[in-house]
Every structure is written in structure tokens, then in C-alpha cells.
Amino acid sequence: AMLTELAMKRIREDQQGFNSVYMMLDSGARGSKEQIRQLTGMRGLMAKPKKSTAGGGEIIENPILSNFKEGLSILEYFISTHGARKGLADTALKTADAGYLTRRLVDVSQDVIINIDDCETLRGIAVESLKKNEEVVETLGERILGRVSLHDVHNPLTDELLLTAGQQILEADVKNIEASPVEKIEVRSALTCEAEKGICAKCYGRNLSTNKMVQRGEAVGVVAAQSIGEPGTQLTLRTFHVGGIAGNISEDNKLVAKFDGTAEIEDLRTVKGEDGDGKAANIVISRTSEIKIVDPNTGITLSTNNIPYGSQLFIKNGAKIKNGDVVCQWDPYNGVIVSEFPGKIAYENIEQGITYQVEIDEQTGFQEKVISESRNKKLIPTLLIMNSKDEVTRSYNLPVGSHLMVDDGDKIKEGKTLVKIPRKSAKAGDITGGLPRVTELFEARNPSNPAVVSEIDGVVSFGKIKRGNREIIIESKLGEIKKYLVKLSNQILVQENDYVRAGMPLSDGSITPEDILSIKGPSAVQQYLVNEVQEVYRLQGVKINDKHFEVVVRQMMRKVRIEDPGDTIFLENQLVHKSDFISENDQIFGKKVVLEASESENLKPGMIITARELRDENSVLRRADKALVEARDAVAATATPILQGITRASLQTKSFISAASFQETTKVLNEAAVSGKVDTLEGLKENVIVGHKIPAGTGMRDYESIIVGSKEEYDEIMARKEALKF
């Protein structure tokens, strides 16, 4: 990065900015900083060619030192051609993928049309500025522009009204908000809209093509699908100029304060230890520490960061810090396990050739002990720390691939690094990671190595080992106990007696959307999906408004699974449309179910009647001195929200015509025929197929009965109306 900056600076000052290469770049006609760097600096590290879609993407060790101006050596040229060829082959393959993604997106969201102006919901989503490593990627203002605020927003310092509930947030409002210390704002969103069909104008906000509030009849679903799908075809063409250059290698290794203020640290446990140079240092041994930087005058939190385990902490809780102070630093290339107690090391099941191999480090020439997977699954390599009485004070499990830094029988102080676990070298950021990742998210697939996630808040303890799995037990304050099994080859992210919160991963890997849904609820999973997909596009430098993703994610969460049908027409475990579920429950609300008909002529046991019908019937029976009807309150159904991938969601739309025209035609039509479905032709596709006007824009059904007359006629009618008023 420094090299690029330096080259850019030189080229900018050359010939008073009239350097022809610079002009090309600066005018935006062709080329990027990266390419200029390859012309003048050096090509840098290259990604290995990928074998098929799976492995690969690692980085070739020796960088290409030459640039295109000096010319490349034979070997360098050979490595480079790889990139270019790969680019061409990729392009051909991926256009198809991108097109198919667009088709699925259009299919799932085609029936989202703006149907009403305001659904009057009380729910919304909280929006804050997006940060990545404390760098603001997207400001709060950019994210809320053109949305509708859910509440009135006041400036906390002056109590001046910044936003009115239910009003569109305009450019002027955004300026006021950026100037105020407001960090979070709740806005209306497609995710929380409660319109029966389609979504309402207030929840959607501004129409991005006109910059005015969206009008009724706008087919926002198709717009959203195309907005997400269209860059997909471009993204495929991106890799190919840079030709597989590996980026983002130098990981961060320290946390720097971005604001002046007071430090507040939560959940902190440290031990006194030594850093690499033998100086005393505070080593963090808690895994959930957060540092907040608080403005001392107003008490507003300016930033929050996690403090990683094993890092050296340089500041104390409650200390005043300035912008640019280093809070903590850590080893960017290795995860570590740090001793919490002084004592003597003992090995358990750590044997050469069985559970560890001795490898010689290429750079330093030192021998290192590296834990390997043993054939015998019962042998768990473990480090024990003994105290002076030879009792075990602490044991640490060692994941496969970790490097031992201490020998059997060593005496150690607290804060000593016992084990280093190398982090995998950064993969080359490439849209190949992009499109499949987008597909994976939209199809709600579970990743290949999912993390085990805690479902409750509580304290961790380790159980036995069963069949190559380590048991992790979590006990909450209320005494609830949950047990999880984690494969021994996976790194376990928690230690004995750690406090974990619900939704925290216990092992390495990516969290599955279903876990988020079941633990943190539907709104968390919706926001997770929106943010994750956005992240892929953002890495490519493509800006897409959140609205579009929200519309699609809303469509993925249309269905609920019935847990208990109560007295409704549903069956257990049936998948039902949210709106059907709500209307069925509303219909049964306040009704009575007949238990004993007694001597009534009209009512039979099991009938669902209104309270009034019951009262009338009973008063008739009472007059005739007959036994009264017994009844109980009707029970509503309960359900849990589920997440469906876009393909599943499109195949299960209400409209069978639309589903049949998408995929698996025979299956869809068979099911529709067997269950005697009726298609009410509400979406766009169904209407196109049967040859009607589409119910969007001026084709909306409300406009069909409009009478068109001349202005004179209208004036005459109005005049007559006026005359009738007296």
C-alpha cells in the first residue's frame, strides 16, 4: 500500500499532472491504481491457480518483483499468464451463474409491489454507521437517506427535533444528524413491513430512480432483484484485469484509539507476563473483553472494540486516552494460548510421531513441535500446568496444527505463550469467493464446517470425550444446562470457566443462518443476511442500496412453521404463509368451542361459534329449562418463523402458475392439481402467462374502474353538487 501511494504521488507530480498515464487514470477512462502499481512498482504476490472451484486461492510464496515496464523474467511471465488465462475462463463460466442468480431473484421477489401507502407498523430496524476495523465504511447518513424514520429523533444534547416519525429523511435532515451525536436510528424497513400483499410505500422509502417517495404500483421486487443480479455479471469480469493478484496480506496487529475520551473495559481478565523483548506486559486472558471509548463530558460512547485474547494491553480501565494511542497489540499471524497460572508444564498424550511431528521452520531453522492428527482418536494432546504440590491447576486442549512453545517439565511464569496456532494465510479476494458466497447466503445453505453456537448465556465447562468429540457444557445462572459436541480437530474458542453469551460460537467456523434464527430471532438473521451479502459486493466496490437486499430477504422469511395448530385449520409442522397464519388466528380470536351440546338442537360438539351465538343459544335453552351448552375459549395456533432459500421460496409461492414457470414444472403442477389449488393471479408472472395486464403501475386493479370524462363534465357535476348544499 505504501508503494502504491508513493508511485501515485510521483506520477501525480510528474509534468504538473499531465503525465499521460496519470491522466488516463484520473479521468476515469481506464485503469486503476492497482494496474499502475503493476506498471511502475512491482506486480507483488500472486494467487495460485485454482483447481476447479474447490481448493486453491492460496498465495505463491515468492512475489513477482519486476513490473511491466522493466519486463518479467520467464518464470514470472509464466505465473502471470496463469492469471490472465484464468480470468478468461472464469468469465465464460460465471456469466451463466450470474444470469441464473438474477433469474431466481426475480422469481422470488416478482410479486412485491407497492400496494398501500402506510401499513402503520410499529416495528422497524435500528441502523447505525457501518464500521470495519473502526474505519467507517458507510456513514449513518448514507444508510438512512430516503428512508422513513420510525420515531421522532431528538438531539440528546440540545433536545432539538431532528426527524419526525413517518417523514422521509431528506438530505438536509441527514446533515443535521451527522452533526449531532446520534449513533443509532430506527427506520421503517421492508423487513418489518406488515402489508398483506407486497409492501407499503413508507417502509420502502424513496424510489432510487426518481429520488421521490415511491408511488403505489411500483414493482419494487423486480427492481430489487435486477439491482442485485446486474452487478453479478460485472463482478465476474472484474478479476480478469488484475489477473489474480493477492491482496490484503498484512493483517492488522494493533488496536489504535480513534477518539479522545475515557476508556471503559468490560469483562477484563489480565495476567502479568512478558512480551517478546522480555519487558513486563499485561496479557489479556478473557475472550469477551470490550473496550469502550466514552466522551467524558456527555457520556456518549464514541467507539467499541473487542480486545482479542492473548493481546498485550497498554492502558488501564478508566484511563484517559487520546486519538492515536495504541490500546493493545497482538500477533497477527498466530492465535495463541496463554498460561493463566505459574507452574510446571506436563505433557499428556503428546508423543513424537503419534500426536506431534518435529518440523524445521524454513525461515529460522529452529525445530518446532507441531501437533498432528493421530490415528488413535482417544489420544487427546493436552498441556497440563502443575502447581508446587503437583496438582493440575489448568489443562489446555491442543488443536491440530498448533505449534508447542514449551517443553515437558519447563517452569513457566503466568502470561507465557504456551502454544501458537497459525492463522491461515489470507485468501486472495476474488469474486469467485463472491458469487458462490452470494448464492450460498440467498439459498440459506449451511456452510461446510459450521461453528457450534451456544444457545444460552452461561459458564463453560469441559466434559468427557466421546468418539473424537469433545463435550462442552454450558450452565446458565438459573441452572439450565446445555451440552454440545465439538470435533477435536476444530479449534475450541472458549476455555474452562469462560462466560459466553447466547449466539457466541464455541468452535471455529462460520455461523449458520439457522442458528442465528433459532437463537437470536428473525430480525437478527435478516440483518445478518443483508449485511453479509452487502459485504461481498462491497469488497468488489459495488454500491447497492440495502433496500434491495431487504426486499429479497423479506421474501425468504415469508413462511412460518406451525408448532401447535390449536383450533385452526392448520396441521402440525405445516408451512404456512405469514399472512394466512395471522388472518386465521384473527378469525378464531374470541370464538368459543362447544364441548357439550347437551340438549341444544343447533349446536354440535366441536363447533366453533361466536360468544354471542353461545349466549343466545343458552338463553333459549334456559327459558325451556333444558341443560345449557358448555364451551371453552378457542385456542389460536402458534408458529415459528423459518428461513427458506430463494429457490425453495419461489417454488412455494401461493401462485402455482408462477412456481410452475420457474422450475420442476411437472412436480409443481401435480401438487397443485392434487390439492385443488386456486391461483388468484396476484403477482406479475402469473398475469403475463395468462395474458392479463400486470398488476403494477397503471395496470393496478384499483385503476380498472376509473371513469374518464372531460373537464367540462366534471366541472358541471361539481357545480351541481355545490348547488345541492344549502
pLDDT, tens digit, 9 for 90 and up, residues 460-504: 777 777 777 778 888 877 777 888 887 766 666 676 666 777 777
Mean predicted lDDT score pLDDT of the chain: 79
Rounded average pLDDT over 118-135: 80
| 150-154, Cβ contacts within 8 angstroms, sequence gap of 24 or more | 150/122, 150/123, 150/124, 150/186, 150/187, 150/188, 151/186, 153/177, 153/182, 153/185
Residue 673 reports pLDDT greater than 90: yes
Please tell me the predicted confidence (pLDDT) of residue 165.
86
Among 349, 144, 134, 400, residue whose Cα is nearest residue 252: 134
Please tell me the predicted confidence (pLDDT) of residue 242.
38
Q: How far is CA 683 from the centre of its chain?
A: 29
Angle 366-371-372 (CA atoms, 0-180°, nearest 5)? 120
Please tell me the predicted confidence (pLDDT) of residue 239.
42
Q: What is the pLDDT of residues 37-75, one digit of tens each?
A: 777 767 766 666 554 444 445 566 677 777 777 888 888
| 566-574, Cβ contacts within 8 angstroms, sequence gap of 24 or more | 566/634, 566/635, 566/636, 566/637, 566/638, 567/591, 567/593, 567/608, 567/634, 567/635, 567/636, 568/636, 568/637, 570/637
Neighbours of 184 (CB within 10 A): 10
Contact 327, 317 (CB under 8 A): no
Among 255, 165, 145, 155, residue whose Cα is nearest residue 208: 145
Residue 681 reports pLDDT greater than 80: yes
Residue 722 reports pLDDT greater than 60: yes
Give the side-chain half-sphere CA count within 13 A for 708.
2
Of 61-75, 164-178, 296-310, 592-606, which one has max mean pLDDT?
Answer: 164-178
Residue 538 reports pLDDT greater than 70: yes
Give the side-chain half-sphere CA count within 13 A for 439.
16
- Greater confidence (559 vs 503) lies with 559
Give buried/exposed letters for 661-680 (b at 16+ CB in 10 A, else e): bbeeeeebeebbeeeeeebe
pLDDT-derived band at 243, boundaries 50, 70, 90: very low
Main-chain dihedrals φ then ψ at residue 198, nearest 5 degrees: 65, -150
Q: pTM for the whole thing?
A: 0.70
d(CA 349, CA 488): 14
d(CA 281, CA 288): 20
Residue 199 reports pLDDT greater than 80: yes
DSSP character string of 357-373: EEEE-TTT--EEEEE--
Angle 39-43-44 (CA atoms, 0-180°, nearest 5)? 150
Please tell me the predicted confidence (pLDDT) of residue 497.
64
Contact 165, 149 (CB under 8 A): yes
- Greater confidence (303 vs 128) lies with 128
Please tell me the predicted confidence (pLDDT) of residue 61.
65
Question: DSSP class of residue 7?
Answer: H
Contact 155, 298 (CB under 8 A): no
Q: Mind spelling out the 3-state secondary structure of 174-193?
A: HHHHHHCCCCEEEECCHHHC
Please tell me the predicted confidence (pLDDT) of residue 674.
94
d(CA 67, CA 77): 11
Rounded average pLDDT over 112-128: 88
Please tell me the predicted confidence (pLDDT) of residue 240.
36
- Greater confidence (266 vs 423) lies with 266
Among 437, 484, 617, residue whose Cα is nearest residue 57: 437
Rounded average pLDDT over 117-126: 87
What residues contact 234, with CB distance under 8 A and at least 6 apart?
542
Q: Which of 24-28, 81-85, 246-250, 669-673 comes out lowest in average pLDDT?
A: 246-250
Angle 546-551-553 (CA atoms, 0-180°, nearest 5)? 90
Q: What is the C-alpha end-to-end distance of the chain, expressed in Å?
A: 81
Domains along the sequence of the chain with CATH: 1-41 (no CATH), 114-218 (no CATH), 254-422 (2.40.50.100), 431-544 (2.40.50.100), 559-699 (1.10.150.390)
Residue 433 reports pLDDT greater than 60: no
d(CA 214, CA 193): 15
For cell 466514552, the residue is: 294
CB-based burial label for 526 (10 Å; 0-12, 13-18, 19+): buried
Grid cell at residue 255 = 488496536
Please tell me the predicted confidence (pLDDT) of residue 288.
66
Residue 145 reports pLDDT greater than 90: no
Please tell me the predicted confidence (pLDDT) of residue 244.
38
Please tell me the predicted confidence (pLDDT) of residue 235.
62
d(CA 346, CA 354): 17
Residue 232 reports pLDDT greater than 80: no
SS3 212: strand
d(CA 211, CA 202): 14
Rounded average pLDDT over 551-563: 90
Please tell me the predicted confidence (pLDDT) of residue 287.
67
In DSSP terms, 559 is beta-bridged to 577
Among 379, 431, 386, residue whose Cα is nearest residue 406: 386
Q: What is the pLDDT of residues 314-361, one digit of tens each?
A: 887 778 888 777 888 777 667 777 777 788 888 777 777 777 777 776
Residue 666 reports pLDDT greater than 90: yes
SS3 437: helix
Please tell me the predicted confidence (pLDDT) of residue 507.
77
Among 642, 645, 640, 667, residue whose Cα is nearest residue 656: 667
pLDDT-derived band at 691, boundaries 50, 70, 90: very high
Residue type, 69: K
Please tell me the predicted confidence (pLDDT) of residue 278.
63
Among 84, 495, 467, residue whose Cα is nearest residue 284: 495
Strands 130-132 and 135-138: antiparallel
Contact 424, 479 (CB under 8 A): no
Q: What is the pLDDT of residues 613-660, one digit of tens each?
A: 888 888 888 888 888 888 888 888 899 999 888 888 888 888 889 889
Main-chain dihedrals φ then ψ at residue 255, nearest 5 degrees: -110, 125
Grid cell at residue 475 = 450452565
Please tell me the predicted confidence (pLDDT) of residue 254.
75
Order of strands across the sheet that contains 382-386: 392-397, 382-386, 343-348, 411-412
For cell 438474477, the residue is: 102
- Greater confidence (213 vs 421) lies with 213
Q: Mind spelling out the 3-state secondary structure of 661-722?
A: CCCCHHHHHHHHHHCCCCCCCCCHHHHHHHCCCCCCHHHCHHHHHCCCCCHHHHHHHHHHHH
d(CA 134, CA 307): 13
d(CA 680, CA 113): 15
Rounded average pLDDT over 517-531: 86
Report in angstroms the alpha-carbon separations of 209 from 205, 215, 303, 348, 698.
12, 12, 35, 66, 18
SS3 393: strand
pLDDT-derived band at 252, boundaries 50, 70, 90: low
